[in-house]
Amino acid sequence: MKRDRRPQEPESLIETLRIERTNLSQAEFAVHCGVPLRTYQRWIAGETEAKLTPRQWKALMQILQLQVGDIPDDFGPVEPE
């Protein structure tokens, strides 16, 4: 799979975790989680709410090394304080 070499600005907490904890591109991450790339991109842009199956949750949590309490409440863009 071709790796996206463009700089990727973190747009959301889940995107920040992907960048910090993996060497996976968005496309690779989406494949490993079992979701289409465009769906993942919609989540991090705040266009749609993430609705994962139990299998997808397990994959996402394993890849990002998350515990249940570490999961962001929202996958969309971080709101400025």
Asked if residues 56 and 35 have their Cβ atoms less than 8 Å apart, the reply is: yes
Q: What is the pLDDT of residue 73?
A: 76
Residue count (the chain): 81
pTM of the model: 0.75
The whole-number pLDDT of residue 6 equals 47
Residue 27 in domain: yes
CB 14 within 8 A of CB 40: no
On the question of pLDDT at 60 being above 50, the answer is yes
Average pLDDT of the segment spanning 14-31:
95
Is 81 within a domain?
A: no
Four-CA torsion 35, 12, 47, 38, nearest 10 degrees? -30
- Spell out the residues 6+ positions from residue 77 whose beta carbon is closer than 8 angstroms to its own: 11, 12, 44, 45, 46
pLDDT of residue 44: 92
Q: How many domains does the chain have?
A: 1
CATH number of residue 45's parent domain: 1.10.260.40
Domain span at 40: 13-70
Asked, for residue 33, whether it belongs to a domain, the answer is: yes
Q: What is the pLDDT of residues 32-46, one digit of tens each?
A: 999 999 999 999 998
Higher-pLDDT residue of 5, 41: 41
Domain-located, residue 64:
yes
